Amino acid sequence: MKALFITAPQKWEILDIPTPEITHDEVLIRVDYVGLCGTDLELLNGKHPYFSTHDAKFPMQIGHETSGTIAQSTNPALPVGTEVIMDPIVGCGNCEACKNRATWCKERIEIGVRRGGPGALAEYLKVPVTNVYPIPQGVSLRDATLAEPAVTAIAGISRIKATSGRALVVGDGTIGIIAAQVLAHRGWQVLIAVLSEASAERVRSLGFEPVLPQQMETISAEVVVEAAGTHRSIQTAFRAVSAGGEVVLLGVPDKPLESFDIAGLVLRDVSMYGVLNGPGKYIEALNLIAEGVIKSSKIIDQEFAFAQFGDAIGLLANPERKLPKVLVSMRS
């Protein structure tokens, strides 16, 4: 089969490698679509935090947002031909952390991201049966790729104790837009912080009210969802949250913050939640896609053939693209 490997920063190759062999605890997926995100860009550039902890190294096979069709299976609940998505977090299964959440496991594999788990930018992918979810009727393989980023947004929102009010989403990428869609569905007044008038225009076209940097001083929100993972966006989140409010951190910065106003958060009695992925939220994500709460038409920009990976990653790196999500179609 053909698979894409990043061999060094900004270098990749599509190679012929053996098709994976599966055990009775795994299924083989013929990959249909792969979603590209900021994590893939950081891996490609060699700047993801996992490189500094030695949990990522070159060469690596990326791709963690995917949909596909079961090609081999011994599990009667997942017969050949079933259209599925996967949860890329695979815990060791033996530690105390795994008894609660695989994302807490220090030895966890993140397919396409961490500890060498071969990613989905390949014709075939093997995945543990427990990490596979059938796609419900009415949801296309294309739209189902949004389930993986959606679970992070959903998991973050589920941590919020308040039930209504003003919510500010910082970041207008895929997870930020999904968070805004879910919050609006749940009755929140949603604002989205942006950096430029071009981004503001895009946010308006999606049906949300944008907040430009010069307007931030006047913003106070009961809930702030940080979905960009930059130092600036995190500082914005901390400043914008109201006294007694809640901050949900979904973005992962590539290095530690040099200054962090702990006193300000303590004196304003702010609650803060860090969220990695969303185990147990995949069925909810797929249902929200099926119901049209998560609208792919407002998230997915373009799709490219596998051989056009360079064009796809180029568009992903372009901040002027119309919509945040870029897909690779593995069957094109």
H or E element in which residue 125 lies: strand 124-128
Helix (H, G, I), strand (E, B) or coil at 239: helix
> Residue 254 above 80 pLDDT?
no
Mean of pLDDT values over 53-82: 97
Question: Which tokens hold the place of 311?
Answer: 């064009």
Rg (CA), the chain: 19
Quickly state the pLDDT bin for 258 (edges 50, 70, 90): confident
All structural domains of the chain, each given as residue ranges with its CATH number in brackets, are 2-146+299-329 (3.90.180.10), 151-274 (3.40.50.720)
What residue type is 229 in one-letter code?
G
Mean pLDDT of 302-327: 95
pLDDT of 259 over the 90 cut? no
pLDDT of residue 332: 78
What's the pTM value of the predicted model, to 2 decimals?
Answer: 0.95
Instruction: Report how far residue 35's alpha carbon sits from residue 31's, in angstroms, rounded to the nearest whole number.
Output: 11
Beta carbons of 257 and 186 less than 8 angstroms apart: no
> Mean pLDDT for the chain?
95
Tell me the average pLDDT across 79-108.
95
